[in-house]
Amino acid sequence: MGEYFERYIEQIIANKMKSSGAVLVAGPKFCGKTTTSIRFAKSVYRINTKNVVDITKFNPKIALVGERPHLIDEWQKVPDIWNCVKEDLDIDYQFGKFILTGSSTPADKTRIQHSGAGRIVPLKMYPMSLYESHDSKGLVSLSRLFETKRLEAVDPNQDFDLEDAAYLVCRGGWPLSVKASKDVSLEVTKNYYEGLFYYDDNDNPSFRNKNPEIFKAILKSYARNISTEAALTTIIGDARGGGEREMDEKTFREYWIALKDLYMIEDMEAWNPNIRSKTAIVATPTRHFFDPSLACCALGISPQNLMNDLNSFGFFFEDMAVRDLRVYMSKNNGVLRHYRDNAGLECDAILHLPNGKWAAIEIKLGGEKFIEEGAKKLTVLKKKLAEKSDEPAPEFMMILTAFGSLYQRQDGIMVVPINTLKA
């Protein structure tokens, strides 16, 4: 339980501390922010009790006292800390003075007087990818593929099956769940989820001041629409429970924003290449969680439930794949998008680098039929963009699967099981 698993964000933190006065590491509770950030700190100020919160609110500058680099843990509980850090850097700017961690944006954003631009660099931290949790062999590197454009490994991958993937979807990437034995890890994840809705000692007003049943209803609706382009009106209607629960659009948006501020849900935006035709790009985002286990907990889904409903399993697996790809692309300083046009052509994931290079990925559970289906989509997308856009050709195209062999097809498309991938 005490072993530390290295995280990709470590290198990003180290680089940003060399070029900025402060780094903000933000992400959901229990994703490992403090454990990772403390590795870069020489002193720590933890805002972890009501007494400390009260003291710090009275004198927020006390949170800045300590040897540099100085870590301020859960800074958002006292929003004035942000202004104090900004003021300190204005007076005496030095690289790598502060590290801030936060599991939500401040409930009272009006207390923040400055954006922190040029002083405080924000970084987003996700739960563990499969490579970080030691569940991926790491035979295939995305950064390497962008350089070589070819697969350098082949693996029958017979020691990983669909049941393994179902378990990993439900377990999630929470460090405590990852390090727990398989027979209790799912319970650890469930306990974490349920703990989000106990407010007696919850420090976040975004939860404490709202109805937990509405939060749960929205999360259930999101889970039922996971990895789709469901409109918010659809999600609202579903969350109402067929009229059993009153919920107007204003109420929904308040709770929806709170869930985003708490790093529980994060939609994936659409990719908008420059198309020289009448083809319109559909801008609707796809609905996703920070970790697929949250969706499983919201609906009470077990690995066996996923195995009994492969169609639904596909959507939940896609959510896990998106989580991993987000982690890997942050390491590569890139972004993750999806593509759909008004002609019905879709692509699950577009990987885009700052230099303009991009790659296309279709996400499938596996099996010859679905692999072939994904390959046809990718081929059509490549041809269409070559004919009707100014975008360069993709550096590579990939079908990311839940299980099966690692290999490259004759058409050049790579078939990559998720347990062989890394940044």
pLDDT tens by residue, 55-111: 999 999 999 999 999 999 999 989 999 999 999 999 999 999 999 999 876 544 444
Which element (helix H / strand E) includes 73?
Answer: strand 70-73
Q: What is the pLDDT of residues 150-209, one digit of tens each?
A: 999 999 999 999 999 999 999 999 999 999 999 999 999 999 998 877 655 455 566 667
What is the set of domains in the chain, with CATH numbers? 9-124 (3.40.50.300), 140-179+268-289+303-422 (no CATH)
Q: Residue 180 corresponds to which amino acid?
A: A
**Is the link from the previous residue into 392 a cis peptide, with omega within 30 of 0?**
no
| Per-residue confidence (pLDDT) for residue 390, from 0 to 100 | 85
**69, 96 in Cβ contact below 8 A?**
yes
Q: How large is the angle between the packed helices 310-331 and 292-299, nearest 10 degrees?
A: 150
In DSSP terms, 124 is beta-bridged to: 26
Distances (CA, A) of 332 to 89, 266, 270, 325, 374: 29, 20, 19, 10, 25
Q: How far is CA 77 from CA 1, 33, 109, 114, 143, in A?
A: 28, 16, 11, 17, 37
Lowest mean pLDDT among 40-44, 281-285, 356-360: 281-285
C-alpha span between 323 and 264 (Å, rounded) = 12
Q: How high is the pLDDT of residue 274? A: 74
* Helices 182-195, 292-299: crossing angle, 10 deg rounding: 80
Q: What is the signed CA dihedral for 410, 413, 415, 418, rounded to 10 degrees?
A: 160
Q: Are 123 and 9 in contact (CB under 8 A)?
A: yes
Q: Are 222 and 326 in contact (CB under 8 A)?
A: no
pTM: 0.94
